[in-house]
């Protein structure tokens, strides 16, 4: 189904570049990396490299499909074409659900920081204020979303670049009062793999989800004047973004500080800043984390609303969600995402250890489901092209070998989630949710396409009519 009004095409190249960067740099890098370092020691670098490789391959595959056919629904629409309408329906709803749940998590995290700064205002009021602010931003125009994301990402990038430059200077012994550590922290605290290779494998499961969000750039590209070029730039920059921002900054942490110190476990980046002797390290990191939280809230609302809009266009969500405002924004889809987002925020305060925890766990493995669907869709669509694949402007490397490597790696990660006690419940709940959504999708499109008398193949909706 098409709408008379079209989404605004007002995102500029600088917006898309920063959206692509912001999608990779989340609060998990600044806060959650401490847990991963404690788990695997310096060997966590191998986990980041392995997880980063999977994401790079997935983004390349998604980039190939998006450059050939830029769509707001991104991988959901490609799943439609590759696997059937049930697949696009299922992965689209699961993806939207993931980001709506993220709204509750991030709004609460941001509110906690604001409450520390201004304790006189209740934390739930801060969460409400942040949600309202970002909702208004997304309702205003896609350009306002792009501007907010541009400045949020700029702050994050500036913080990491300064962190890396100072880290390199400290490692080389160029900062007064900070002796050059050499390789002592990498090798003398139980070795590079103090807890064995198994801990690195477990660490991959901890860090892999930090990379989820890189695909947002391919969704946002549909609202730019030149989506194909935007997709190409975003995908090609994925490699250096992951290597510099993640692997580079974690390498600085484990080189400068003992991996098993309590300060690293609590907040590795704060610990390094304190090592430099910079006052107010905790406040500095609070500002950076708050920026990351606001960026994630902004992108979460944007991404969920665009996926709901795309589902609505294809008849897989209420028709009213296709309504576009005069500013070119799918306002109904934004409000639909916001309403559920407000509910999740409320549940996080009313029942954090029961209902909200249950909802969070149902989204735990969705990232892997999305990556698996992207990989399988690319494998099928590329093979359908045959010799015409030579005309693709962006191609997957060494097809189909690296595509199969990505698929096998993602399946291995899912198996790993099942083996580990800490992730098994989340996987099972995610599988249960996915099974329900897939069942609904299969039931909706249970009648296969039929071949009419003119020899053309009908779509599922047409097949129902013809039947």
Q: Which domains does the chain have, with CATH numbers?
A: 13-384+398-446 (1.20.1740.10)
Closest CA to 60 of 381, 374, 390: 374
Average pLDDT over residues 173-199: 88
Helices (H), 314-420: 331-350, 355-362, 366-385, 401-419
First and final CA of the chain: distance in angstroms?
21
Structure confidence at residue 278 as a pLDDT band (50, 70, 90) = confident
Q: What percent of the chain has pLDDT over 70?
A: 92
User: Cα separation of 167 and 173, whole Å?
Assistant: 10
Higher-confidence position of 50 and 242: 50
Q: Which two tokens stand for residue 389?
A: 């694949």
Report residue 415: phi and psi, to 5°: -65, -40
Q: How much is the pLDDT for 156?
A: 84
Structure confidence at residue 70 as a pLDDT band (50, 70, 90) = confident
SS3 at position 441 = helix
pLDDT in tens, 298-314: 888 888 999 999 999 99
What are the beta bridge partners of residue 310?
Answer: none
Q: Which two tokens stand for residue 322?
A: 């296709």
User: Cα separation of 222 and 66, whole Å?
Assistant: 9
User: Cα separation of 345 and 352, whole Å?
Assistant: 10
Structure confidence at residue 395 as a pLDDT band (50, 70, 90) = very high
Closest CA to 412 of 372, 379, 374, 380: 372
The most confident of the ranges 34-48, 82-96, 137-151, 254-268 is 82-96
User: Cα separation of 74 and 54, whole Å?
Assistant: 19
* pLDDT above 50 for 460: no
Structure confidence at residue 461 as a pLDDT band (50, 70, 90) = very low
Report residue 172: phi and psi, to 5°: -85, 0
Higher-confidence position of 422 and 53: 53
* pLDDT above 60 for 457: no
User: Quick one: the chain helix, strand, coil %, rounded to 5?
Assistant: 75, 0, 25
Structure confidence at residue 112 as a pLDDT band (50, 70, 90) = confident
**Tokens 């942040």 belong to which residue?**
130
Q: How much is the pLDDT for 79?
A: 94
SS3 at position 224 = strand
Long-range contacts of 402-406 (CB under 8 A, 24+ apart): 402/57, 402/60, 403/57, 403/61, 403/375, 403/378, 403/379, 404/379, 405/57, 406/54, 406/57, 406/58, 406/61, 406/371, 406/375
Structure confidence at residue 451 as a pLDDT band (50, 70, 90) = very low
Structure confidence at residue 284 as a pLDDT band (50, 70, 90) = confident
**Residues 6 or more apart whose Cβ sits within 8 Å of residue 421:** none
Distance, CA of 265 to chain centre: 24
User: Cα separation of 276 and 177, whole Å?
Assistant: 8
Q: How much is the pLDDT for 453?
A: 40
Q: How much is the pLDDT for 194?
A: 92
Q: What percent of the chain has pLDDT over 90?
A: 34
Query: Maximum CA pair distance of the chain?
Result: 83
* pLDDT above 80 for 197: yes
Of 16-30, 189-203, 243-257, the least confident: 16-30
**Between the CA of residue 34 and those of 58, 265, 370, what are the distances in Å?**
26, 4, 26
Q: Which two tokens stand for residue 409?
A: 């790696």
Q: How much is the pLDDT for 57?
A: 94
Structure confidence at residue 5 as a pLDDT band (50, 70, 90) = low
Helices (H), 69-141: 75-83, 85-117, 123-140
User: Cα separation of 23 and 10, whole Å?
Assistant: 19
User: Cα separation of 98 and 93, whole Å?
Assistant: 9
Asked if residues 298 and 271 have their Cβ atoms less than 8 Å apart, the reply is no
* pLDDT above 70 for 463: no
SS3 at position 467 = coil
Q: What's the pTM?
A: 0.88
Q: How much is the pLDDT for 24?
A: 66
**Between the CA of residue 343 and those of 318, 415, 459, what are the distances in Å?**
19, 32, 36
């Amino acid at each position: 189904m098409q709408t008379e009004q079209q989404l605004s095409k007002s995102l500029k190249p600088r917006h898309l570049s920063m959206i692509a960067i912001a999608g990779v740099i989340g609060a998990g890098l600044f806060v959650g990396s401490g847990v991963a370092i404690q788990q695997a020691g310096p060997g966590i670098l191998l986990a980041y490299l392995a997880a980063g490789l999977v994401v790079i391959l997935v983004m390349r595959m998604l980039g190939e499909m998006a450059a050939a056919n830029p769509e707001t629904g991104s991988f959901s629409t490609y799943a439609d074409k590759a696997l059937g309408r049930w697949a696009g329906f299922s992965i689209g709803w699961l993806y939207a659900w993931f980001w709506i749940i993220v709204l509750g998590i991030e709004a609460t995290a941001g509110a906690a920081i604001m409450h520390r700064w201004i304790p006189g205002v209740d934390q739930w009021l801060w969460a409400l204020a942040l949600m309202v602010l970002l909702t208004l931003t997304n309702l205003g125009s896609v350009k306002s979303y792009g501007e907010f994301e541009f400045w949020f990402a700029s702050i994050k990038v500036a913080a990491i670049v300064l962190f890396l430059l100072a880290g390199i200077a400290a490692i080389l012994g160029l900062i007064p009062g900070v002796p050059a550590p050499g390789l002592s922290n990498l090798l003398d605290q139980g070795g590079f793999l103090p807890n064995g290779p198994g801990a690195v494998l477990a660490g991959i499961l901890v860090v892999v989800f930090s990379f989820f969000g890189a695909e947002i750039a391919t969704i946002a590209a549909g609202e730019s004047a030149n989506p194909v070029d935007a997709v190409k730039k975003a995908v090609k920059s994925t490699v250096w973004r992951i290597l510099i921002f993640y692997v580079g900054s974690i390498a600085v942490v484990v080189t400068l500080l003992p991996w098993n110190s309590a300060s690293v476990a609590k907040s590795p980046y704060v610990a390094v800043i304190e090592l430099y002797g910079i006052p107010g390290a905790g406040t500095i990191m609070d500002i950076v984390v708050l920026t990351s939280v606001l960026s994630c809230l902004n992108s979460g609302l944007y991404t969920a609303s665009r996926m709901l809009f795309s589902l609505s266009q294809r008849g897989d969500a209420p028709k009213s969600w296709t309504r576009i405002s005069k500013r070119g924004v799918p306002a109904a889809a934004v409000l639909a995402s916001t309403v559920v987002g407000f509910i999740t925020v409320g549940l996080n305060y009313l029942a954090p250890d029961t209902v909200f925890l249950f909802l969070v766990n149902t989204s735990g493995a969705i990232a892997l489901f999305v990556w698996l669907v992207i990989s399988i869709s690319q494998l099928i669509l590329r093979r359908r092209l045959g010799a015409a694949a030579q005309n693709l402007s962006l191609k997957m490397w060494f097809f189909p070998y690296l595509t199969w490597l990505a698929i096998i790696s993602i399946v291995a990660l899912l198996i790993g989630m099942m083996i580990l006690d800490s992730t098994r419940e989340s996987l099972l709940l995610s599988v249960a949710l996915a099974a329900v959504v897939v069942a609904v999708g299969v039931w909706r499109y249970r009648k296969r396409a039929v071949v009419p008398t003119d020899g053309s193949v009908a779509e599922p909706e047409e097949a129902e009519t013809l039947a």
